[in-house]
A and B are shown apart, each in its own frame.
Chain A
Amino acid sequence: MTFLEVRDVEKYFGTNHVLKGITLDVDEHQVICLIGASGSGKSTLLRCINGLEAIQAGSITIDDLEVTQEESRLNFLRRYVGIVFQSFNLFPHKTVLENVTLAPRKVLMKSREEAEAIAEPWLTRIGLWEKRNDYPDRLSGGQQQRVAIARALSMQPKLLLLDEITSALDPELVGEVLTMVQELAAEGMTMLLATHEMGFARDCASSVVFLHQGVLLEQGTPDQIFTNPTCEPTQQFLKRVIEAKRI
């Protein structure tokens, strides 16, 4: 069943045409990887889906509810759509536990105890329950990013948007975060993620989407995209990525 419908979406920043007629479907339990060069519009697409940016034409529908800029609708939709950013964006003035419990308490109106009961399994799972009273600047990048994921999951989202969540991490920390995403995928979480980790996309994605200068150029199974890309830009992009990895 289609959970997220993106239809002919156009997005401008001033005169900069960033998304050009993007159409994309995400079914429940699917993991869709967005790949494409820097500036191709991956982050922008994710931000539009959760209403952080307004679109100028087309429509985005989540579970039959259209995403508009109407305040109350956004607040409602965002309960079901989590997003994790490249730069973690943890709240620096709150402890790990407070970071994770803030939204359940303020948005879902849970009591502190209830919220902590939600947070505990997630923090235990990422091995950070012991560090629950530390502030984010005490954690490594990988730990911070896992807390950010736990923070998004604490709202029990139906759709998780991940924007290059390993790009700001040291290479040795990438693995621990990707493992967590892989586990979530195995558990059936619906995910749309922008990534530069081609190995990960190949292993985990149900479908890979290639964005080129704001156009959705090609979509297919990882096998199709990585072994038989049909479009010239896709081929070039993949070649560049593979060469960069070798160096």
Chain B
Amino acid sequence: MRVTLSLRGEKKEVEFSGRTLGDLLSSQGINPEEYVFSRNGELILADEPLHDGDEIKLVPVVSGG
């Protein structure tokens, strides 16, 4: 599956095998503790099924207060 990752305005297309957000994260070595994830403005959790062409936004948890 091909999806787009977006972090602080920067976008990157990635291909991974799997079905869910959790699969995507482990395939990319992204630590789920360090971000909150959203798609089309809605927060999603690791068990969320993804679809080809989805844009997933990574919102960093660690940032200035």
Do the two shown chains form a genuine complex with each other?
no
Interface residues in chain B, defined as those with a beta carbon under 8 Å from any beta carbon in chain A: none
Q: Which residues of A contact B (CB under 8 A)?
A: none
